[in-house]
Amino acid sequence: MKSAITGGAGFIGSHLVEHLLAAGDDVAVLDNLSTGRIENLAPVLKNPRFTFTEGNILDRRAVDSLVRGADRVFHLAAAVGVNLIVEHPLESLRTNIHGTEVVLDAVLDAGASLLLASTSEVYGKNASDSLNEESDRILGSALKSRWTYAAAKGIDEAFAHSYWREFGLHVAIVRLFNTVGPRQRGRYGMVVPRLIRQALSGEPVTVYGDGLQTRCFSYVGDIVPAITRISAEPAAYGNAYNLGGSHEISIMTLAQRIVELLESPSTITLVPYEEAYAEGYEDMRRRVPDNSRSRALVGFEPKTTLDEIILNVAAEFRLGAGGRASQPRAAAVAAG
């Protein structure tokens, strides 16, 4: 099987590359190395079944040459991370909307199937007990750049769905809920690597707002096999699938657990949102997935515990790469 991945040098993309190579696929990656990092691909760069091209998804020729001959394409390239989106809303809109259109057209012409990585952000402020794929989207003002990512990913999903309905494109969508794990960096938001790095270096651990907002963190090692299985299911075409963790935790409790587990001398500091982000920032109070649809389709069960996640991420930082690499070279592609 030939797989092609946009954003394959990013956090999730690079884990997907390894997973697909281990399954016997030939794998080609296109990544502009903005938020993606070539170091993430170090374990596979010499693999004869792997090819890497530095390029942008806005460049149709680059995308055409990536997907030519591919059986399936994973579209993970996107401008991600709250900080990046708030600081560069226009670039984010262009990459996340027009870039996806370029990929959809190229994949349709190439006759491949497509897996589109979307995000739990599309649900916006919907704080219901358990978000299923048909749940309403509740977004703030269109003029607040904080919502740019959710708006763009919603459009991406609508495009993908329409390509399936009108052109018969074999495309499935996954909505990722706070995927975490080794290789994720905190520069553009991303609470888990930020707090672990702070705890390891003895700096104050920064909890934004009152710390009572909750998330369900999922481990990249649980998510990547599920993404792969969904991509191979014809029943998934035209549909979206939640993939998230099963344990809801407040950010304050997360911070306490990180400090405790890593035996850190750090104190925990509450940082008002206005200091952490631009003024007027709206956070999500809660985000809890209903994974029933992905469980029914591919048996998805998140297995890795939060403690295991924290220890795995800390182990990577302790190895040395993490501390330095928390300042990536520049801005841009990875996954949702």
Residues that bind ligand UDP (CB under 6 A): 82, 178, 189-191, 194, 206-208, 213, 215, 251, 283-284
Provide, rounded to whole angstroms, the least separation between the CB of residue 150 and ligand UDP.
10
Name which of 170 and 185 has its Cβ closer to ligand UDP: 185
Provide, rounded to whole angstroms, the least separation between the CB of residue 244 and ligand UDP.
11
Q: For 193, what's the count of Cα atoms within 13 Å in the CB-facing half-sphere?
A: 25
Name which of 159 and 177 has its Cβ closer to ligand UDP: 177
Contact 288, 130 (CB under 8 A): yes
* Active-site residue, selected from the candidate residues 123, 149, 188, 219: 149
How far is 181 from 316, CA to CA, in rounded Å?
Answer: 9
Q: Which are the contacts of 301, defined by CB distance < 8 A and separation ≥ 6?
A: 222, 246, 295
CA 208 vs. chain centroid, Å, equals: 21
Q: Give me the residues paired with residue 30 across strands.
A: 6, 53
Secondary structure class of 51 (helix, strand, coil) = strand
Strands (E), the chain: 2-6, 26-31, 50-54, 72-75, 78-79, 113-119, 171-176, 179-180, 205-208, 214-216, 218-219, 240-243, 248-250, 268-271, 333-334
What are the residue ranges of helices labelled H in 213-287?
Answer: 220-231, 251-261, 273-276
If you search the block for the tokens 């959710």, which residue do you land on?
150
C-alpha distance from residue 99 to each of 103, 241, 333, 335 (Å):
6, 21, 11, 13
Name which of 77 and 176 has its Cβ closer to ligand UDP: 176
Beta pairing, strands 214-216 & 248-250: antiparallel
Provide, rounded to whole angstroms, the least separation between the CB of residue 273 and ligand UDP.
7
Name which of 209 and 225 has its Cβ closer to ligand UDP: 209
> Is 149 considered catalytic here?
yes
Name which of 206 and 242 has its Cβ closer to ligand UDP: 206
Provide, rounded to whole angstroms, the least separation between the CB of residue 147 and ligand UDP.
12
Provide, rounded to whole angstroms, the least separation between the CB of residue 299 and ligand UDP.
26
Provide, rounded to whole angstroms, the least separation between the CB of residue 121 and ligand UDP.
6
Name which of 20 and 191 has its Cβ closer to ligand UDP: 191
Provide, rounded to whole angstroms, the least separation between the CB of residue 251 and ligand UDP.
4
C-alpha distance from residue 126 to each of 9, 70, 83 (Å):
31, 37, 21
Secondary structure class of 336 (helix, strand, coil) = coil
Name which of 170 and 215 has its Cβ closer to ligand UDP: 215
Secondary structure class of 47 (helix, strand, coil) = coil
Catalytic site positions: 149
